[in-house]
Amino acid sequence: MVKQIAESLIRRGAVEFGTFVLASGRESSYYIDIKSAVTNPDLLREIADEVAGNHRFDIIAGVAVGGVPLAVAVSLASGKPYAIIRSSEKDHGKKGRIIGDVAGKHVLLIEDVTTSGGSALYGITELRAAGAHIDSVITVVDREEGASEMLAKENVTLLPLARVSEILAARKT
């Protein structure tokens, strides 16, 4: 199924070539656009079913913006609650950076694309500060640029549904 996800991403045009500036500020000759690709309900369902059927967790969480639709889809596929990690604390209402009850729960964090792992690390830090137990991060695509190693330092395993090397190799065939 994981190889199928890489092929589905290619079919749906999630891989674009050109010159792109990544969130990390680095320049890349390709861009993995999961946010647009998962607006297709078939692909979103495929990803959600893969995660829900193969991973154990109490709550699925996503960092806004890219992880939120993924977390919602996995929640629906698994019947388990989800949490949203805001990029910043709001100054009104209930405030806080996390929407959802994660305290004392085993949380699985889901990301659209990981590069250096900064966004995932932010999510892990916020979840742990809220009392969550987290030891795994699912990413739809790992760009294989250091995220796995960075998260390992936090005793967290990065579990990619696809690696960029697999996507680029499959695209050539």
What 142-148 contacts at long range (C-beta under 8 Å, 24+ apart), as own/partner pairs, is 142/113, 142/114, 143/32, 143/113, 143/114, 143/115, 145/115, 145/116, 146/115, 146/116, 146/117, 147/114, 147/115, 147/116, 147/117, 147/120, 148/114, 148/117
* Per-residue model confidence (pLDDT) at position 3: 74
Instruction: Measure Cα distances from 84 to 39, 59, 60, 70, 165 in Å.
Output: 18, 10, 9, 11, 29
Contact 34, 67 (CB under 8 A): no
Tell me what the mean pLDDT of segment 96-114 comes to.
95
Q: Coil, helix or strand for 128?
A: helix
CA pair distance 87, 99, nearest whole angstrom = 12
What CATH number did the domain enclosing 106 receive? 3.40.50.2020
* Domain extent at residue 15: 2-172
Contact 67, 85 (CB under 8 A): yes
Q: What is the pLDDT of residues 44-78, one digit of tens each?
A: 999 999 999 999 999 999 999 999 999 999 999 99
Most confident of 17-21, 91-95, 110-114: 110-114
Q: Count other C-beta atoms under 10 Å from residue 88's C-beta.
A: 7
Place 93 in a pLDDT band, splitting at 50, 70 and 90.
Answer: low
CA pair distance 48, 40, nearest whole angstrom = 12
* Per-residue model confidence (pLDDT) at position 24: 74
Contact 61, 103 (CB under 8 A): no
Domains identified in the chain, total number: 1
Tell me what the mean pLDDT of segment 126-142 comes to.
97
Place 169 in a pLDDT band, splitting at 50, 70 and 90.
Answer: confident
pLDDT at 1 over 60: no
Place 166 in a pLDDT band, splitting at 50, 70 and 90.
Answer: confident
Tell me what the mean pLDDT of segment 4-30 comes to.
87
Most confident of 5-14, 24-33, 101-110: 101-110
